Amino acid sequence: MAKKKILLNAFNMNCIGHINHGLWTHPRDTSAQYKTIEYWTDLAKILERGLFDGLFIADIVGVYDVYQNSIDVPLKESIQLPVNDPLLLVSAMAAVTRNLGFGLTANLTYEPPYLFARRMSTLDHLSRGRVGWNIVTGYLDSAAKAMGLTEQVEHDRRYDQADEYLQVLYKLWEGSWEDDAVLNDPAQRIYAQPGKVHKVEHHGEFYQVEGYHLCEPSPQRTPVLFQAGSSDRGLVFAGRHAECVFISGQTRAATKVQVDKVRASAVEAGRNPDDIKVFMGLNVIVGATEELAWAKHAEYLSYASAEAGVAHFAASTAIDFAAYELDEPIQYVKSNAIQSATKNLQNNDWTRRKLLEQHALGGRYITLVGSPEQVADELELWIGETGLDGFNLTRIVTPESYVDFIDLVIPELQKRGSYKTEYETGTLREKVFGTALLPAQHTGSTYRH
């Protein structure tokens, strides 16, 4: 029986400090060049050399102002601030690659669906069908206030709005233009056939839309749909809409529970359990030998900022950890922040010291350290014991973290039959799922003519 092939995204953000904070100070780190096109096109070529499935680009609207009730630490350590628009990177990266996919984060709370539909269709055309959308609803009060609201919309209510947002998008992407609407016939002077392009009429609780989708059908119509919510309401949403789900795991046993819940949510929505691919965020520090890997780990630790990591986490939970003494128990507070982040604090047995230890590398993702063989063993173990499909590989030092993984770990995985040796043909959805369009059992397909 053939081994399950591990799927792999590079996890990144259009900013300096993403997950592992403080490492921008490392002499070999180039993240301060994030404002240049070459930084991104060079990265795209590196990742395609490593046969990565995609570059998953996170985003945030707002600032991390919970810790110390200020943005002093985020500014000093560049904790996702400044942050530039992720969507504008794709055209340049698509131009220098042929196969790499692009998972783009965009917050639907602040984007009108009609214009967003055009933006994504445009990128799907320009990339020949290589884009995905990471659906987020936001969680920062700072973003809500910047966008004219008094506070963040209540957690479950945001998902109600998201459900309707997706309805509007499916109507535009899947239903407005029929497959054969475009004739492109100069002799008849007919580019598109009037009877095959339909007005979308949507009158809902959150959105009022009357109009035709401005783009002809793109290679995928609907981009590959990513989502990261693991709350009860988030899982219902994922079961209905998501094709790829991103989780954050700390132990294999707990991760298996999360993966099983995601697959159950798909079944509940009338889909197959493997209609959703599940990815976990992961740090990897690899060296030619175990000794060299741990030496690199020690070197990275000396540049990391645990406090910056805790300041980032404070915004995820809406709790100001700076208000607590080092060993004072942190009190759980219910909020509209990230539910999976606050869940770990509900027993009131966390302290600032414990959080600082957890964020020693500037972030709190699992870190694998070792030789290529040891890292490959661990990756296969995680896949085998949890049911995961793949990983979102973070950058620690950029682009060194990705180059090391590609040069050392990828050949080992390929030797074992756990990783592809060439790309499949076609769009991002075809490469990952074997079909260019949403499958029949996905709710979005029901909006087609």
From 117, 120, 157, 151, select the one nearest 137 (Cα to Cα): 157
pLDDT of residue 261: 97
Confidence check: pLDDT of 292 > 70 = yes
Q: What angle do CA 116, 117, 118 make, to 5 degrees?
A: 90
DSSP collapsed to 3 states, 295-310: HHHHHHHHHCCHHHHH
| Binding-site residue ranges for FMN | 59, 105, 155, 159, 230-231
Q: What is the pLDDT of residues 360-415, one digit of tens each?
A: 999 989 999 999 999 999 999 999 999 999 999 999 999 999 999 999 999 999 99
Q: What angle do CA 358, 313, 12 make, to 5 degrees?
A: 95
Q: What is the pLDDT of residues 329-357, one digit of tens each?
A: 888 777 666 556 666 666 667 899 999 99
CATH architecture of 7-284+369-447: Alpha-Beta Barrel (3.20)
Domain segments of the chain: what residues? 7-284+369-447
pLDDT of residue 339: 56
Question: Residue 399 gets which letter from DSSP?
Answer: T
Q: What is the pLDDT of residues 87-115, one digit of tens each?
A: 999 999 999 999 999 999 999 999 999 99
pLDDT of residue 307: 94
Confidence check: pLDDT of 303 > 90 = yes
Query: What value does the mean pLDDT take over residues 249-253?
Result: 94
Minimum mean pLDDT range among 60-74, 169-183, 406-420:
60-74
| Binding-site residue ranges | 59, 105, 155, 159, 230-231
Length of the chain: 449
Q: Which two tokens stand for residue 42?
A: 């060079």
Q: Which two tokens stand for residue 310?
A: 């805790």
Minimum mean pLDDT range among 206-210, 308-312, 340-344, 372-376:
340-344
pTM of the model: 0.95
